[in-house]
Amino acid sequence: MSKLKKKPIIIGIGELLWDLLPTGKKAGGAPINFAYHASHMGAESYAISAVGKDLLGDVIMEEIDKIKIGHVIERVNFPTGTVLVELKEGIPNYTIIENVAWDHIPMTMQIEELAKKADAICFGTLAQRSERSRKTIQSVLSFAPEEAYRIFDINIRQNFYSKAIILESLRMCNVFKINEEELILLKELFNKQQSNENDVCNWFVKEFHLKFMILTAGSDYSKIFASETFSHIKTPKVKVVDTVGAGDAFTGVFISSILNGKPLFEAHQEAVERAAFICTKSGAWVTE
């Protein structure tokens, strides 16, 4: 476990973008959502990404300032990222624009120094679709302290993933987060179709020496696997507005709680409650 601190330093690196929802545009991006919800638990959170030198970039920087998290966000000569989000019974479907600012996150000395102090870093597959951002993410993980949590929230979207990137990410992480749809895909990729979900998750824990394997199953339940312990909690029933950012809220709160010394089940319970609350609101960033 990372050395206990009053304020853990937590980083989310990857996509920063506008979710274009039926109700209007909302700022988001999975790793940034993670950092925001970790800050809700008292962590010293930082977003690392890039936005364009455009109006959407100006406005998203204003939104980042409003939620009061630290950031190293470069302004680059590519448009600020956007995602068309269509909702069917509250469940989002994404159309993600390519070759945007967060595909070009540069590595800087400021980012390196921040990574060296990190207690937890969250990353996914989406921002690794481009070589530039993938190399920056790998560099950040390499500079982090050995005991830091390296959270791979796979976050599969469209065709922006490959088995090679997933394998490389699994070798760099020590916490792995997936949902039930992603588990089906992974069972196929790793030839585990005949195994039940518990056996597959325990296999990932052992095979990749994970501290935690997190499986969320939407409105049904979530499970957290570790080498010598396990937690299973049913999802509370709430009136869902949308589920955008709920998984990121879960992960951010869980890791923050663990870093604050909470036992597994208690950290899991706090994560479940935060994720359920986010489902009752529109968008990923909620100011209470």
Q: What is the tens place of the pLDDT at every residue in 63-106? A: 999 888 999 999 999 999 998 878 777 677 778 899 999 999 99
d(CA 232, CA 220): 11
At 161, is the pLDDT very low, low, confident or very high (cuts 50, 70, 90)? confident
Q: Is the pLDDT reported for residue 7 higher than 70?
A: yes
d(CA 38, CA 58): 24
- Kindly report the pTM of this predicted structure: 0.91
**pLDDT, greater one: 119 or 240:** 119
pLDDT at 106: 97
d(CA 33, CA 15): 10
- Helices 264-279, 30-40: inter-axial angle, 10-degree rounding: 110
Q: Of 271, 30, 272, 255, which Cα lies nearest the Cα of 128?
A: 30
Helix (H, G, I), strand (E, B) or coil at 36: helix
pLDDT at 281: 75
What are the distances in angstroms from CA 275 to CA 163, 174, 196, 246, 281? 28, 22, 25, 5, 10
Q: Of 212, 287, 283, 242, which Cα lies nearest the Cα of 18?
A: 283
Q: What is the mean pLDDT of the chain?
A: 91
Helix (H, G, I), strand (E, B) or coil at 123: strand
d(CA 55, CA 159): 28
The DSSP secondary-structure symbol of 195 reads S
Contact 144, 116 (CB under 8 A): yes
Q: What is the pLDDT of residues 21-51, one digit of tens each?
A: 777 888 888 899 999 999 988 899 999 999 9
Chain-centre distance for alpha carbon 101: 18
Q: Is the pLDDT reported for residue 133 higher than 80?
A: yes
User: Domain 9-279 carries which CATH code?
Assistant: 3.40.1190.20
**pLDDT, greater one: 178 or 40:** 178
Length, in residues, of the chain: 288
Q: What is the pLDDT of residues 227-281, one digit of tens each?
A: 989 999 998 888 877 666 788 999 999 999 999 999 999 999 999 998 888 877 7
Counting runs of H as helices and runs of E as strands, what totals does the chain give?
Answer: 9, 13
What are the distances in angstroms from CA 163 to CA 30, 159, 187? 20, 11, 12
pLDDT at 287: 62
24: left (phi over 0), alpha (psi -120 to 50) or beta: left
- Helices 180-189, 197-207: inter-axial angle, 10-degree rounding: 70
The least confident of 107-116, 187-196, 204-213 is 187-196
Mean pLDDT of 131-158: 95
Backbone phi, psi, residue 190, to 5°: -105, 15
d(CA 285, CA 12): 14
Q: Is the pLDDT reported for residue 1 higher than 50?
A: no
pLDDT at 84: 86
Q: Of 160, 157, 165, 163, which Cα lies nearest the Cα of 137?
A: 165
Mean pLDDT of 113-135: 97
pLDDT at 187: 95
The least confident of 32-36, 57-61, 176-180, 281-285 is 281-285
The least confident of 122-126, 133-137, 157-161, 229-233 is 157-161
Which tokens sit at 106?
Answer: 């540069």
